Structure 1
Amino acid sequence: MTDFVIAQTTIDDEGQAKALARGAVESKLAAGAHIDAPFTAVYWWKSEIETAREWRISYMTTTDNLSELEAWVAENHSYEVPQWVTLPVTGGSSAYLSWVVAETTEG
């Protein structure tokens, strides 16, 4: 039984968001990626409250690919500490989930 996850990161540049999405899909680490419209992020950073315009990238993948995807995003991300969170997928259509497995499996 394959477990599925949605993994997410954010970035402050639309071009970089597209590159992070495309690169993960090209590498077969994610079956697909969604880039959400820009939003305003407010957060603490180095003892200051920051405000930034960011894009959220959501990757659909399997737990088998998760650690490699996380390492790939960390290596290719411009942030010192990029957001990285994962959400378990507890259901979905069998056709869609089969597609995720097929697109994240080499060969």
Structure 2
Amino acid sequence: MERPLLVYTTFPDAASALNIGEALVRERLIACINVLPGMQSVYSWKGAVERGEEVAAILKSREGLADVLSAALKARHPYETPIILHLPVAGADADTAAWILAETQPADATLAAPPSS
């Protein structure tokens, strides 16, 4: 069975995170996005140390969608170089894993068993 995948990223604000997250849920690339507002960041960018407010986001998906999800996230993201970290899941509650996998199946995928010969 394919394993769940968590993707960590940051956004400049909750509205952009929620809008992009909703689009990715509708496309069935993720089952869920958790948006954690109020994060303070200190980071190096183009030779300068910067400070800023951001929101962290954790996206729940499946390992097989890692590349297409990263491309879709990058295409929509407001940052020039968004942070996109794939966090493999070593273990998960069976019901949680099943929900993530079911919600990230293509809408036209059939779950029927293959015909016997």
Q: TM-score range by the shorter chain?
A: over 0.9
Q: Percent identity?
A: 26
1:24-35 pair list within 5 angstroms: 24-35=24-35
State how far apart, in whole Å, the 1-side matches of 2:65 and 2:56 are. Answer: 20
Gaps of 5+ in 1: none
CA deviation after TM superposition for structure 1 residue 36, in Å: 0.8
Query: What's the counterpart of residue 77 of structure 1?
Result: 77
Residues in 2 aligned to 1:13 and 1:33: alpha-carbon distance in whole angstroms: 14
* CA RMSD in angstroms, aligned pairs only: 0.9
Deviation sequence 1:51-99 (CA, Å, 0-9, x none): 0100111111101111111000100001110001011111111111111
Q: Tell me how far apart the structure 2 counterparts of residues 27 and 80 of structure 1 sit (CA, whole Å).
A: 23
- Secondary structure class of the residue paired with 1:38: strand
Q: Which residue of structure 1 aligns with residue 53 of structure 2?
A: 53
Structure 1 ranges of 4+ moved more than 3 A: none
- Label 1:37 to 1:13 Cα distance change in 2 as closer, same or farther (>3 A): closer
Largest Rg, 1 or 2: 2
- The unaligned stretches of length 5 or more in structure 2 are 109-117
Q: How many residues align?
A: 107
**Aligned counterpart, 2:13:** 13
CA–CA separation in structure 2 for the residues paired with 1:88 and 1:64? 11
Paired with 1:16 and 1:38, the residues of 2 have a C-alpha distance of: 14
CA distance in 2, matches of 1:102, 1:9: 23
Equivalent residue, structure 1, for 2:64: 64
Q: C-alpha distance in 2, partners of 1:17/1:93?
A: 26
Deviation at 1:37, TM superposition (A): 2.1
